[in-house]
Amino acid sequence: MDSRTRLTQMRAVERLAARDATLFADPAVAAERLGWIGLPQEAFDQAAGLAAFGDEVAASGITDVVLAGMGGSSLAPLVLSRVFGHADGRPALHVLDTSSPAQVAALLASLAPASTLVVVSSKSGSTVEPLSLAAVFRAWLGDELGDGAGRHFIAITDPGSPLVRYAGDHGFLRTFLAPPEVGGRYAALTPFATVPAALAGLDVAGLAAAGLATEQACRLDTPDNPGAALGAWLADAYTSGRDKVTLVVSRPLAAFGLWVEQLIAESTGKEGAGLLPVLEDAPGDPASHGADRMTFVLRTPGDDELAALARRLSETEPVFESVLTDTRDLGGEFVRWEWAVALLSALTGIEPFDQPNVAEAKAATEAILRAGAHEPVADRIEVTGPDGVVSGLKGLVPAVERMLSGCPACSYLALLAYLPDDAALLGPLHRVSESVGDSYGIAVTPELGPRYLHSTGQYHKGGPRTGLFVVISAGSPLDVPVPGASYTLGELNRAQASGDVATLRAHGRPVVHVSLPDPGIAHVEAVVAALRGLGGR
């Protein structure tokens, strides 16, 4: 029986529309996480008020908005900022979901305190990255603005979180409360995304209207239900043994893949099951797609290359295509995917609303920081293999090849880089990932740390034991102190990398850790050159 028929027999669409938590593997968890049903209407109703607030902020002389967030608090705003930019006369939106001191220092150097507004965004109100960045920006703003610095901050968080009190204690301009019954990865149309979008002058009403139209279609158990069609397609491919979803997106919309990546991986990657999202910057070599792949294409009408992609892939590879005629329809794509992943999870028995393994790397990082066990930074590239042996860069390829040969069942390699979000640094890593993937016939997923910890990090530890991992961290000659903390941003960044290495190893995942003296292009290119030495197995 196909998955679409099963959804009808389960009355899954009707039950999800009614927020029936018994549809899911753990109703107690699901009962507290179904507030995203009906959210597009709320977003539409709030759009005019948010637009007025955006007008006030722009009129006050603010030219730059910095959003300090992580995971579900930052990925939807990141998508919107990269796809839409900002309206004329409205502030530029800088999404800062990092602990990289080099990236933070570079942004600070480009801003003027008097015209900067900082949005501290955290659902729990206790996430280490945005709170650390808030402390950094408070000191920076306070140096010039004194007691008036608090008026250059707003907070977005859940009711009753520690961030509510923090914002009150420090005189924030405003605090926006998000619905607590909506999990971070389902928060694309909550204040976590709509407030920064409104500050940048984006059409929140248009995005919400597109989401509302899609949700209305998703509520009906009809053949053209967009969420059910996508969810059933995912489930059919997954149950046939295809556990990797290749996401290929037209370049103007490319950032959307980062949001979908979190939704899929963090929702499904647990108890040895789940789907791995594989983002491809370009269609790539179809011959490198194995029998474990399915491909989702999101394209603009004029993207002829992606329109022809299905014909280049194997006839047996499932392909699902969505064509976006208006970029505001991204609001509908957010909703379609939320329904699809929820229905996929109902079909497969995976609980989509928890993330049991995400907290492990956080705890490991906190333990490192509490102990003051800040790793010394060597003056050369060091490679620590799965066996704990430390060598120079020449040891990288042998260490990775030992991992590959020692795990015949492994079907993906994750390249996890704790570097600034800079195309000059990350571009070579993406290109070598394609090369290695083509050589070995496996998926290679380049990820940016610590962002991935709140996204694919759940899949890495909780999903099937088919992954191999290369973690790249770097020293920080230009470091940034965190006022009130016992660590700098550079020490936090390296502790997060080391904490994830320890957590992956605790789960029996093979890991190679590459430590760079600094995040300069020369060291990154040296690592890339070494990885090009990998041959096919």
Q: What is the pLDDT of residues 99-152, one digit of tens each?
A: 999 999 999 999 999 999 999 999 999 999 999 999 999 999 999 999 999 999
For the record, the structure tokens of 251 come out as: 């370049």
Rounded to the nearest angstrom, the gap between the alpha carbon of residue 307 and the centroid of all alpha carbons in its chain is 26
Count CB-CB contacts under 10 A for residue 243.
Answer: 23
Q: What mean pLDDT is predicted for residues 386-394?
A: 92
The class of domain 358-531 in CATH terms is alpha beta
Average pLDDT of the chain is 95
Q: Where are the domains of the chain?
A: 3-20+221-347, 39-202, 358-531
CB of 204 closer than 8 Å to CB of 43 = yes
φ/ψ of residue 185, rounded to 5: -75, -10
DSSP 442: S
Same fold, 39-202 and 358-531: yes
For the record, the structure tokens of 450 come out as: 């610590």
CATH 3.50.30.30 fits 3-20+221-347, yes or no: no
Task: Tell me whether residue 24 is exposed, middle or buried, using C-beta atoms within 10 angstroms of its C-beta: 0 to 12, 13 to 18, 19 or more.
Answer: buried
Q: What is the pLDDT of residues 135-150, one digit of tens each?
A: 999 999 999 999 999 9
**Taking the model in full, what pTM does it have?**
0.96
Cα–Cα distance, 312 to 307 (Å, whole number): 10
Q: Which residues is 299 bridged to in the sheet?
A: 323
φ/ψ of residue 59, rounded to 5: -70, -20
317-323 CB contacts, 8 Å cutoff, 24+ apart: 317/242, 317/289, 317/293, 318/233, 318/236, 318/237, 318/242, 318/294, 319/294, 319/295, 320/230, 320/233, 320/294, 320/295, 320/296, 321/296, 321/297, 322/296, 322/297, 322/298, 323/299
Q: What is the pLDDT of residues 33-77, one digit of tens each?
A: 999 999 999 999 999 999 999 999 999 999 999 999 999 999 999
Cα–Cα distance, 160 to 156 (Å, whole number): 12
Hey, what CATH topology would domain 39-202 get? Rossmann fold (3.40.50)
> What residue type is 497 in one-letter code?
A
Q: What is the pLDDT of residues 443-498, one digit of tens each?
A: 999 999 999 999 999 999 999 999 999 999 999 999 999 999 999 999 999 999 99
